[in-house]
């Protein structure tokens, strides 16, 4: 068995073992992919400040996110089509997250349904929603999430329309994959994946097929978003959704300090500084660059989380030291899943925790809560001088 030492190892295996259309779906940004690249490149510009001869015994990465105890402040982000990266992928990822002690967020665009994931886990998970035109479907979706015991609702606010990802169009992305000479030849090379898929019935968008009306092609992410997503989404609607849910709400997809202030006024429990992994507005600032201004604006009044670009424990450390109270990984866990199923997700979490813990110790800290800007060396021009 391959020796896995970092997320990149899992990524290589994921690429080898999963059909191209699904690997590409995960590993894409929109349009020129500038923001997608900046998300990781900008993390690399920040350096860590080493401190020596500091007692590093009794360390802990434990924290809380929206009041829930977590083994480390790293949640699994909602990722569409996770159940196409490996059979029953959302169930496997949720189980790995539960055993590890970090939150799992189920995407509306999942393959396994809310009920499927609830039936195979014992602790509450989080549920992510887009704002949809069909109010009735939306209500039923929230009711289903409540009935399944979901402990927080993550509302995505940056995707009423889909930023184009060129590879998805070229590959003819769909769930299940359409059988063409090319897709069949590709799938035939991924025997593990194929065996898994033959052994499961979960090959459709489980929260949608059989639940939503008026969707002409429920296998296509792009046609479903174009038909079903609510272009009229505004802050009033966000407030309505919060009231409809009645529990904890996390607003995901903010990059602007004014928007963060508005989110605060709407009464969210947390916000996620995110550019959707570089998959929406190409040309937007990387999340790690956008984070400090938002922390400065609202960080003392609301929990600020961040995602987009995290591929290591060092990245988590940098985000926390920049003021985030929680982080999310998407691709990093999907690489684990595509590489090795549930064990791969566990491996991804272990890799990240070990990197976080070791780097924290070498920075002279014993608790993630003590991390701060004093641990970082940030280039003077990092925030940028934007007119």
Enumerate binding residues for ligand GLV (CB under 6 A).
Answer: 80, 109, 159, 276, 279
Q: How far is the CB of 233 from ligand GLV (least distance, A)?
A: 14
Burial of 180 (0-12, 13-18, 19+ CB in 10 A): exposed
Is 258 in contact with 275 (CB distance < 8 Å)? no
- Long-range contacts: 91-94, Cβ < 8 Å, 24+? 91/116, 91/117, 91/120, 91/121, 92/337, 92/341, 92/342, 92/345, 93/333, 93/337, 93/342, 93/345, 94/120, 94/121, 94/125
Nearer Cβ to ligand GLV (308/312): 308
For the chain, how many residues are written? Answer: 387
The answer to whether residue 276 is catalytic is yes
Catalytic residue among 276, 305, 335, 374: 276
For 168-233, the DSSP string reads HHHHT--SSPP--HHHHHHHHT-HHHHHHHHT-S--S-TTTTTT-SS-S-TT-HHHHHHHHB-TT-
* Residue 81, φ and ψ in degrees, nearest 5: 60, 25
Burial of 5 (0-12, 13-18, 19+ CB in 10 A): exposed
Nearer Cβ to ligand GLV (276/289): 276
Is 175 in contact with 204 (CB distance < 8 Å)? yes
Nearer Cβ to ligand GLV (80/341): 80
Please give the C-alpha separations between residue 195 and each of 6, 13, 188, 381, in angstroms, as whole numbers. 27, 17, 10, 51
Nearer Cβ to ligand GLV (128/359): 128
Q: How far is the CB of 294 from ligand GLV (least distance, A)?
A: 21
The DSSP call for residue 278 is G
Nearer Cβ to ligand GLV (279/305): 279
Is 90 in contact with 116 (CB distance < 8 Å)? yes
Nearer Cβ to ligand GLV (206/323): 206
**Catalytic residue IDs:** 276
């Amino acid at each position: 068995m391959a020796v896995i030492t970092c997320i990149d190892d899992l990524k290589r295996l994921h690429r080898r073992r999963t059909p191209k259309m699904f690997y590409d779906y995960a590993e894409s940004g929109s349009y020129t992919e500038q923001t997608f690249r900046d998300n990781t490149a900008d993390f690399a510009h920040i350096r860590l400040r080493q401190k020596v001869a500091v007692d590093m015994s009794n360390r802990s990465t434990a924290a809380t996110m929206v009041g829930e105890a977590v083994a480390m402040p790293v949640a699994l982000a909602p990722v569409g089509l996770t159940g196409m990266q490996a059979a029953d992928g959302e169930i496997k990822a949720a189980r790995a997250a539960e055993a590890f002690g970090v939150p799992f967020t189920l995407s509306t665009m999942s393959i396994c349904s809310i009920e499927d994931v609830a039936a195979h886990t014992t602790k509450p998970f989080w549920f992510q929603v887009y704002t949809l035109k069909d109010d009735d479907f939306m209500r039923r979706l929230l009711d289903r999430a409540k009935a399944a015991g979901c402990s927080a609702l993550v509302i995505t606010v940056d995707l009423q329309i889909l930023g184009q990802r060129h590879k998805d169009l070229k590959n003819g992305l769909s769930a299940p994959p359409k059988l063409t000479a090319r897709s069949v030849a590709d799938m035939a090379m991924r025997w593990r994946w194929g065996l898994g898929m033959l052994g499961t019935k979960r090959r459709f968008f489980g929260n949608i097929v059989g639940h939503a009306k008026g969707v002409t092609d429920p296998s296509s992410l792009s046609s479903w978003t174009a038909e079903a997503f609510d272009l009229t989404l505004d802050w009033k609607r966000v407030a309505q959704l919060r009231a409809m849910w009645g529990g904890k709400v996390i607003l995901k997809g903010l990059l602007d300090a004014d928007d963060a202030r508005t989110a605060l006024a709407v009464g969210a429990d947390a916000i996620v500084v995110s550019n959707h992994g570089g998959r929406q507005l190409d040309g937007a600032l990387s999340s790690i660059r956008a984070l400090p201004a938002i922390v400065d604006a609202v960080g003392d009044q609301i929990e600020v989380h961040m995602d987009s670009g995290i591929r290591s424990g060092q990245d988590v450390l940098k985000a926390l030291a920049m003021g985030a109270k929680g982080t999310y990984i998407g691709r990093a866990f999907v690489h684990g899943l595509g590489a090795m199923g549930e064990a791969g997700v566990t491996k991804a979490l272990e890799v990240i925790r070990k990197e976080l813990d070791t780097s924290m110790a070498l920075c002279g800290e014993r608790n993630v809560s003590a991390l701060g800007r004093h641990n970082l060396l940030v280039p003077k021009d990092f925030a940028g001088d934007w007119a």
